[in-house]
Structure formats: C-alpha cells, structure tokens
A and B are shown apart, each in its own frame.
Chain A
Amino acid sequence: MKLRIIVTLKPGVLDPQGKAIEHALGSLGFDGVNGVRAGKIFELDVADATSDEAIDEMCRKLLANTVIENYRVERQ
C-alpha cells in the first residue's frame, strides 16, 4: 500500500522558510502571493495489512513533531 504523509507547520507557528520563498516569488515578479508555508511530504510503501493505528503512530512518533506540526495521511 502506498501512502503519502503530508506534514505542515501548525497555524500560528512562524515559518521563516515559507516567508523567504514568498519574498523570492515576489522578486520573480509574481504578484498577489499572499502567503507561503513550507512543509514536507513522505511517500511510504507499507504492507497492506498495516493498521490505521500503526500509521498514525508512525506519524506521531517520528514523521511529525506534534509540538509544531500537523500531519495528514493520503492513501493512494
């Protein structure tokens, strides 16, 4: 089973990298970019029998730091 896990910064957590990207888009002449938030995507290939609980635990225990990040899982 293929999974895509998307990790994003929680709302309210400052994202200086996103800000720098936003400014760079502005310097390239793209107007109207009102915000950029940088995140991470993990593509996992796991056994079909892997439970939802196990996937959730992988996210909480390692892939995301839930102090600063949210995550969501997409099954493909």
Chain B
Amino acid sequence: MKSAVIVFPGSNCDRDVAVALEQVTGTRPAMVWHGESALPDGTGLIALPGGFSYGDYLRCGAIAARSPIVAAVVDAANRGMPVLGICNGFQVLTEIGLLPGALMRNGALNFVCRDVTLNVENDRSLFTNRYSSGERITIPVAHHDGNYFADDETLDRLEGEGQVAFRYTGNINGSARNIAGIVNEKGNVLGMMPHPERRIETAHGGDDGRRLFEGLLERVG
C-alpha cells in the first residue's frame, strides 16, 4: 500500500512514522511537503506526524492546518481514505475540522513525556481492529498540549457513536473524559496524542503500537 507522510516545518516524528509504515507495509511512504497541492497518485493512507509545526505559534497545529496540502487531505478524507494524525497530527486534524474538539495546554501546565497505559475503547474501527475492546496497551506520550476539550454534547455523541478509540487509564493531561484518541463519524480519520510509531518493535521496549499499523494495512490492503 502506498502511504504519504505530510511534512510540516517543525514536524519531528515524520521519519519515525515513515519507518513504522515501511516496516509494516513493506513500502516506503512518500514524504509530502506541506507546500505541495496534491498527494502522489495511488496514495491509500495519509499520516500527519508528531512534532511542533511552526513552533506551535498561534495555537498548536493552527498554521499547519492552513497549508496548501490540506485541501487535498480533506478531499481524500471525505472520499474515505484513512488519515492517521499522531500528536501534533491530532492537533492539526482538529484545527482543520476533520475531527471535533480542540487540544489545549495540559491541565497541570507540564510537558508530559512518558509511557502511559491506554484502554482500547472500540476494536471495530479501521485503526483498532487488531486490538480487543477493554485491552490495556502501553504507548508513550510526549506533549504539552494534549488536553482534549469538547462540549458535553459533542463528548456524549463521541461516546454514543463509539468514536472514542483510546482512553487514558488515569488523568495525565486534563483531557475531558480521559480521551486519548478519537475517530471521525465515518471512522476513517483517527487522531491520537500517544505515539504508536514509537512502540513497534521490542527494541522500543514493546510493540503495542504495531498492531495499529498492521490492522490498518489489513483493512486497506
């Protein structure tokens, strides 16, 4: 499967996610600069990587979300192409409006950089089908602005529709209802603050993140 990693000025997990995608899919992803206006032909999966695009100026992900490539990403997402946004990528997806809510400064104002335990909330999504609902996995986080906010009505809808993919097992950053990752209504766009690409082989200290990429590959083909 051909995948594309969007690279913004200040992305710093673009190579990590590219390695994860290459290891699992066997094909090296195209690295697509944010200033491009189109995705490479045959792209079947888009990843928005972690990092600090534009130095987090204005709001995290805000300026990246207005990049020239974004129109092509939105168009692909609306056609059903899987889009995976990790950390800054999640922030960018909320700023684009492909996912509801916003990611604010961590509740305790600290930068959180450590392994966290996640509860898999819904194993029926494109991204979580290799996990089991209720399963606990360990994935690292590294962020200053991962405090998920949405109004109560939106939160109820996300929970009611099974759009919460992952939840922290404790309060690590102040996120509403301990939400760590959500999918859109159609289920083809996932945003999550933890970094599955940093846990894909035993040398990383565990491979709990690998099944996310494997499950995606299996479904997308």
Residues of A at under 8 Å CB distance from B? 13-14, 16-17, 20, 61-63, 65, 67-68
Contacts and interface: CB of A to CB of B under 8 A. Distances in A.
Nearest to B104: A68
Given A62-B66, A67-B94, 8 more contacts: A14-B149, A16-B108, A62-B58, A62-B62, A65-B62, A67-B102, A67-B150, A68-B104
A68 B174 contact: no
24 contacts: A13-B149, A14-B104, A14-B149, A14-B174, A16-B105, A16-B106, A16-B147, A16-B174, A17-B109, A20-B109, A62-B58, A62-B62, A62-B66, A63-B58, A65-B59, A65-B95, A65-B102, A67-B100, A67-B101, A67-B102, A67-B150, A68-B102, A68-B104, A68-B149
B66 to A, nearest CB: 6
Given A16-B174, A62-B66, A67 B106 contact: no
The SS class assigned to the B binding surface is loop
Interface string B95-119: 1000011101111110000000000
Contacts of B174: 14, 16
B109 A67 contact: no
A36 B11 CA distance: 33
A16 B107 contact: yes
Report, nearest first, the 3 A-B pairs whose CB atoms are least far apart.
A67-B102, A68-B102, A16-B107
A37 B149 CA distance: 17
A67 B107 CA distance: 18
